[in-house]
Structure 1
Amino acid sequence: MAQIRNRSSAGKVYGWLRFLWPSKQRGMCRVAFGVVLLLAALLRFWGLGERPLHHDEAQHAYFSWIFMHNILGSWPFCFLAQGSNGACYRYDPLLHGPFQFHVIALVYRLCSLVGIPIEGANNVTARIPAALLGTALVGLPYFLRDRLGTWGGWLASFLLAISPGMVYFSRFTREDIYMAFFTLLLIVAIARYIRARDRRWLIWAAVALTLSYATKEATFFTIALLGSFAGAVIVWELGSGRVIRKKGAWLPETLAFPALFLYLLVFGSVALCFFGWLKGLARSLSNVEHVAQADAVLAVVKDWTTVLLLLGFIGLCAFMLFKRSQGDSQQARVTRFDPIKQPLLRMLTTLPWRHWTVAVLTAWIVFAVLFTVLFTNLRTGIGDGVWQGLYYWLKQQEVARGGQPWYYYLLLIPLYEQIGVVFGLVGLIYCLCRPTRFRLFLAYWFVGSVCIYSWAGEKMPWLMIHMVLPLLLLAALAIAPLVRALVGLLHQRKKPCGRHISAFGGLVLACMALIVTLQNMFQVNYVHAEDAPHEMMIYVQTTTDVNAVMKQIEALDREYYHGKHEISIAVTRDATWPFAWYLRNYSNVAFQNSDVHMCVLPRENADVMIAGGHCIGGVLAKGKGTYQALRYSMRRQWDQGYMPPRCVPQQGKTCEEQPYIGVGPLLWLSYGDNPPPGAQFDPMRAACTIWYWWWDRRAIGSTNGSFDMVILLRNDLVQPERREAR
């Protein structure tokens, strides 16, 4: 036993020496990855605060600011309240998981400690966590070099660094880039643990899965994809251990293929039934008659879940103490599974108890800390964390936020991710033709993600990165052999053959696709960053008019209230976001929080009134004669002419409700949202439309999509003669 420990210690020392003093080749590899990381950081942090906060960004930034005050600033009070005080943050799936509020609030606090004004909270600091994890995501393929190859890993990092979607949503205060990081970290950790059997990687996998779930409920999709693929591998390995052919060529050698076929048949049937059941359950939960009963059942389930998880935690701790008291030597277990043909089964059956127990306990602690909000909601936090997110997600399936068609991502992703789409599809074929388990997983991950996210009710542009992530890894696998072939030719200095010429042609195509991708990345992030009518990925975005409104309010506050942020402001419901964030430091602001009376001003005779949307008319009439009105655009939106045309009921065919009506994607690409009567899809016109959009950002459809607002300034504040009298 002492010899084993000495060997382990010596191995750790050797590992640290290799890390601190790498070989020349390893050092050059690290430099190459480091350069890509620097590029990624530059692209993500450059001008990070210039774009106004989106509606959702404003919510996340604002409630993180509240979190900083009420949890980090008044933790003892919130701890004693234990979720009974509404001022203390509690997990609410409406805004997704608690991770982002913890981390953004922490950034605010750290920034305030180093002297950044306004308590360290501003547009830049709200986006720092997204930019940091978006940059860290680029470095993760370094740990997949044994699966992707050195060139494949580096290319994956490079493609992630310059991807238009990855860059944009790394500069965006939403949880999807966090989830993408934790998903890839989970896959890296699992792959490394299977290869090295190092307990640290299993712990990282458990923590990554927990943090992903604490970030967004869509982690259920990740679990479904990983679990179903692992099930297929286990079935294959079980079948490969059963030989059925000794003579005769018409039978397979083992039961692997028949077992896998049966698994896919059964699993596919069960999955179809399950998704159909989920749709029915979602409809039932959206029925107001069933909500009260569902809430009551959920409350009981959450209470029992909390009890069971606490008992499980105690039981696991007792199990660990018992095993330690028995002096378990952790000797390798004897297993009948072949390490070459059945590595997953062998790993699962020989998994040391110290590995899985520590991983589970670590994940449990992380889960409890986040969902109980630093132990300030012990009573309901754990149960909410397990069930409330799923419950909310099911109810949202009928809401179908965005109302996008099933082909939404098939239209959006190719418009931006050219090198990813072209070579990702090549990589998909490559993985199927030259399969390894990891390559097959990448293919399954990509195809499964496209299917699941296209099936889900909510389809929004930020969800595209969960499909782009495996797509770019596939693209790296496709490009890597081309690079290796040409690099080998340069080293050998031989006359090029057909393979080298093909590789050169492939790299030329890759460079052409890369140029278009870089153009799209530059346009969407640095030129049209708040110009939603010209960027499908932006979809809807707060305009810079919000900055103009805030400058007027700040000027009046300086003139009449000495810059103390005491000017009185009334805001209707439609204008709450993003102004709740921008007016957070003004002490005399009243927001209309009622959905029923959303256009009723919460305060009469305020110095400034702000109204949005359909509230504008009523507020203008109310302020006529006593206020000066200025009209602005609060948000602008991308044209949605690609929506399906109006459904016409026919015999035997019913039409579902259509929230948006368009002309269909093909006519929209050919003629925009107003095609001439009798027009048909024109491939040449569509190609020209896309070409001009790529290079000139010539809008495909209408650019009139706008959600307006008005700001009303009281006359005695803005008219010179009344200002003097005042």
Structure 2
Amino acid sequence: MSHADDSADHDGRVILPVVALTLLAVVVRLVGLGTRSFHWDEGRVGYWTLRFLKTGAFEYRPVAGGPFLYLVDQPVFALLGPSDFSARLVVALVGGLLPLVALLFRRRLAADETVVFAAILALSPTLVYYSRFLRGDLPLAAFSLVALGCLVSLVDTGRRRYLYGAALAGALAFTTSGFIVGYVACWLVAGALVFDHVRVYGDARQTALDRVSGYGRTLHDWVTPLARAFLLFVAVFIFFYAPRSADGSGPDLWNPLTFPAVLEEALYGSLRKYVGVWVEYRDGHEFLAYIAAHVELLVVLAAPLFLLGLFGFAAERYAGRNRSVVAFASYWAGASLLFFPVITELTAPWVIVHTLAPTSLLAAVGGAKLVRFARQGVSDRNAARTGIAALLILAVVAQAGALAASNVYGPSDWDNRMAQYGQPAGDLDAMATNASTAMAGNEGIDVVYVGDRYYLADDSDEDYPPVPESWGNRLPLPWYFERMDAETTSVSNATRLDTLDETPPVVVAQPQYRAALDERLTGYRVDEYELALWNRNVVVYTRQ
């Protein structure tokens, strides 16, 4: 059989299972996508997206995260309307299509490794959970894997489309999250170690200087495609980071007369803002404590994947072929254990997504070896080997299923380790329904916040990020009220409610003011909701 026949047979055994797993991945991410109340971070992204959509103005603000979700969710809201489901849809589709990335690595991985890789990307509980969460972490991990896969396919095939795919995916990764700096650091470390890895395991007759010279000749031969890829990268970067002006008073991407200012703001201004927020004015933290917390979350939330990754790394390095792509993933995963605890501002479950991205490839190697071990036991009719393999596979599947049932689709409470503190423990859909009904036909102020925790001396402070801490204390309620197009204000205590011309149809208050408000608000329904996993209750009055 020729090499072409071997390749066709390999692809035939891989493509159909990967496509089937991708369809399954999309389904498990879309089912009940809008049932969980918005986390505080989701509330921020959703709120500012609606504000940008309403005003037509946009400016990159590092404290609000990368621009990707804000800009791609605007047409989704315009088409489907704002809701918890539509807001998360883009991230869910990115996560659902993620198993297709495995096909980009199929020339470097065995057929069973490729399929297991796709299965892990499709069904890993942590990846599923944060594919159903409005943050840029999952898109960043996904676009980075796509970029790496395209580069691997470029080396394997020499086809230019993979170069342009890598440029596009890399540019999108830069628009998703400030955590991109961690990926750049990890890739630089991994690239340097793989270069040395080739020296150890490659052709001993070829020196490092010979390889550098070869890379130089390749770059020279590819100068035109590389220039096009660079321009594609820059164009995508500018599109997302360029400001939009609502009234034409400032730089505007769609105004050719302001294009020089747009370029300056998109390329230099965005970098200056990023450095200011992420480097100059950020607080430090205990490095070792954050590393320990990061590893603990990996063990608690992704133990099978983490252990399979360790097994795959050991098997590949000490009893395998020492493939460069597996080595790169190993070094990338190892570096992420150090870099991400350094750059993150808090210990949160979503941070481990950035370690699970490369670990998934290692786990595919380990998982495939486990499956082969089971097959060999069945083929040899070895009951002991078959039993051991079956127990291990069952343990992996059972643990993943239990996590999915309890954490991904289960209630958001303090027992759910994937639900960070800012996740409301209660269901806010009823609050949104009651508030929407109460506001129907109202003119003027729709919502008033009561209490110093929520009070803003100047309501214009919430027009764009950064915002005062008291606005953040309201989260995720601003998202729900903004999508109702509600007009809001605030007072510092219950007695100040009397200074308003008319009591609004919705009153949101700290629980300490409930007794005073009960006397003032007759004809109102009163409900108490939990805006976090614990110790963040709020009382909501809705006029009947």
| Structure 2 counterpart SS, 1:633 | strand
Residues 508 and 538 of structure 2 are in contact (CA less than 8 Å); yes or no, is this contact kept in structure 1? yes
Change over 3 Å in CA distance of 1:172–1:598 after alignment to 2: farther
* Aligned residue identity for 2:363: A
Q: Is the counterpart of residue 349 in structure 1 residue 217 in structure 2?
A: yes
* Aligned residue identity for 1:363: F
* Aligned residue identity for 1:389: Y
* Aligned residue identity for 2:482: R
Q: Is the counterpart of residue 421 in structure 1 residue 421 in structure 2?
A: no
Change over 3 Å in CA distance of 1:404–1:136 after alignment to 2: farther
Change over 3 Å in CA distance of 1:567–1:177 after alignment to 2: same
Residues 206 and 362 of structure 1 are in contact (CA less than 8 Å); yes or no, is this contact kept in structure 2? yes
Q: Is the counterpart of residue 158 in structure 1 residue 133 in structure 2?
A: no
Residues 237 and 345 of structure 1 are in contact (CA less than 8 Å); yes or no, is this contact kept in structure 2? no
| Structure 1 counterpart SS, 2:539 | strand
Corresponding residue number in structure 2 for 1:134 = 95
User: For the residues of structure 1 that align with 2:273 and 2:359, how far apart are their CA atoms?
Assistant: 31
- Listed as ranges, the matches of 1:5-84 within 5 Å are 26-71=11-56
CA deviation vs aligned residue, 1:518-556 (integer Å, no higher than 9, x gap): 11112112122xx23111110221244533323332333
Corresponding residue number in structure 1 for 2:141 = 180
Q: Is the counterpart of residue 453 in structure 1 residue 336 in structure 2?
A: no
Q: Is the counterpart of residue 552 in structure 1 residue 434 in structure 2?
A: yes
Corresponding residue number in structure 2 for 1:469 = 357
| Structure 1 counterpart SS, 2:417 | coil
Q: Is the counterpart of residue 578 in structure 1 residue 472 in structure 2?
A: no
Corresponding residue number in structure 1 for 2:249 = none
**RMSD between aligned residues:** 3.4
| Structure 2 counterpart SS, 1:398 | coil
Q: 1:444 aligns with which of 325, 331, 337?
A: 331
- How far off is 1:464 after superposition? 1.2
Overall identity of the aligned pairs, in % = 20
Change over 3 Å in CA distance of 1:549–1:401 after alignment to 2: farther
Residues 590 and 602 of structure 1 are in contact (CA less than 8 Å); yes or no, is this contact kept in structure 2? no
Residues 182 and 212 of structure 1 are in contact (CA less than 8 Å); yes or no, is this contact kept in structure 2? yes
User: For the residues of structure 1 that align with 2:325 and 2:202, how far apart are their CA atoms?
Assistant: 21
- What TM-score do you get using the length of structure 1 for normalisation? 0.62
User: For the residues of structure 2 that align with 1:242 and 1:149, how far apart are their CA atoms?
Assistant: 23
Change over 3 Å in CA distance of 1:536–1:624 after alignment to 2: same
Change over 3 Å in CA distance of 1:415–1:229 after alignment to 2: closer
- How far off is 1:712 after superposition? 3.6
User: For the residues of structure 2 that align with 1:146 and 1:216, how far apart are their CA atoms?
Assistant: 30
CA deviation vs aligned residue, 1:470-494 (integer Å, no higher than 9, x gap): 222211101212324555777xx6x
Residues 399 and 457 of structure 1 are in contact (CA less than 8 Å); yes or no, is this contact kept in structure 2? no
Change over 3 Å in CA distance of 1:634–1:608 after alignment to 2: farther
Residues 153 and 476 of structure 1 are in contact (CA less than 8 Å); yes or no, is this contact kept in structure 2? yes
- What TM-score do you get using the length of structure 2 for normalisation? 0.81
- Listed as ranges, the matches of 1:525-536 within 5 Å are 525-528=408-411, 531-536=412-417
Corresponding residue number in structure 2 for 1:408 = 293
- Listed as ranges, the matches of 1:592-603 within 5 Å are 592=490
- How far off is 1:607 after superposition? 2.4
- How far off is 1:511 after superposition? 2.1
CA deviation vs aligned residue, 1:414-448 (integer Å, no higher than 9, x gap): 22223202211111212321322122111111111
- How far off is 1:347 after superposition? 3.8
* Aligned residue identity for 1:50: T
User: For the residues of structure 1 that align with 2:312 and 2:498, how far apart are their CA atoms?
Assistant: 58
> Which of these two proteins has the greater Rg computed from alpha carbons?
1
Corresponding residue number in structure 1 for 2:175 = 214
Q: Is the counterpart of residue 633 in structure 1 residue 529 in structure 2?
A: yes
Change over 3 Å in CA distance of 1:566–1:550 after alignment to 2: farther
- Listed as ranges, the matches of 1:467-546 within 5 Å are 467-484=355-372, 486-487=374-375, 495-496=380-381, 502=385, 505-528=388-411, 531-540=412-421, 541-546=423-428
Change over 3 Å in CA distance of 1:347–1:193 after alignment to 2: farther
Corresponding residue number in structure 2 for 1:90 = 59
Q: Structure 1 residues 565-574 or 541-550, which shifts more?
A: 565-574
User: For the residues of structure 2 that align with 1:162 and 1:486, how far apart are their CA atoms?
Assistant: 21
Unaligned segments of structure 2, at least 5 residues:
245-252, 255-260, 455-469
* Aligned residue identity for 1:188: G
Change over 3 Å in CA distance of 1:255–1:397 after alignment to 2: farther
Number of residues paired by the alignment?
495
Residues 566 and 588 of structure 1 are in contact (CA less than 8 Å); yes or no, is this contact kept in structure 2? no
